[in-house]
A and B are shown apart, each in its own frame.
Chain A
């Protein structure tokens, strides 16, 4: 992934607020820390479930406008569940194929 590396040795996304969309119903918004064998580690994380009353797009839009509501200090998203990682400021709905 491209981007400015602020911490040598870390991923370009380290410290960035990202949207992690999964193959399931959950979408995570939080600060990217690292990725290892267990998955993608996020800090200060908000979670959206497609089954919730608020639409995913609205949830992400609100997170962008008013900040991320950190419900969890640390979340590990299993690597095999990750569908897309996008910086919050660059997030757009995925194009349907």
Chain B
């Protein structure tokens, strides 16, 4: 059962204030990820304090990097069920977990950060991994 929306709202805002576009329906996901071009980070947000509490600050840090994805979108696991299920269809080779992050380039997943790669790690360490992927896959000369 989804958490109280009022409880979740600050967790959404923590991501959308970074410029991430929130996708709450399957149609919105299809519009964003279908025929996707360029680089895009999909941030699967989560209530879980074990990991999401570090994932969101890591995203904040990573998006200050000089090289970032052209687009950042977010869906919220356990909240926007339809949107999350549809988003996961776009990276079906990867088992679902949340929070997690998928970096796409021209519709292909080029880097994936699973929940287990977030758990117990500092935001700085997670951000460093992310920015390495940004440098590799989001620059102009990829």
A and B from one complex:
yes
- Chain A residue nearest in CB terms to B50: A15
Q: Is A24 interfacial (CB 8 A cutoff)?
A: no
Assess whether B120 is in contact with A7, with CB atoms less than 8 Å apart. no
Pick from B48, B96, B112, B116: contact of A89, CB below 8 A: B116
Stretch at the interface among A47-55, A65-73, A75-83: A65-73
The answer on a CB contact under 8 Å between A17 and B115 is yes
- Provide the residues of chain B in CB contact with A3, threshold 8 Å: 120
- Number of A-B pairs whose CB atoms are under 8 Å? 47
Given A66-B95, A67-B96, A68-B95, answer yes or no on A16-B50 (Cβ-Cβ < 8 Å).
Answer: yes
Q: Judge whether B49 and A7 touch: CB under 8 Å.
A: yes
Contact with A along B92-121 (1 / 0, CB 8 A): 011111001000000000001011110110
Assembly CA distance A88 to B121 (angstroms): 13
Determine the chain A residues whose CB is within 8 A of the CB of B83 once the complex forms. none
Instruction: Return the chain A residue nearest B100 by Cβ.
Output: A67
Partner of A87, one of B49, B93, B97, B120: B120
B114 close to A15 (CB less than 8 A): no
Q: Which of A16, A63, A67, A89 has its CB near the most chain B CB atoms (within 10 A)?
A: A67
State the A residues within 8 Å of B (CB). 3-4, 6-7, 14-17, 63-64, 66-70, 87-89
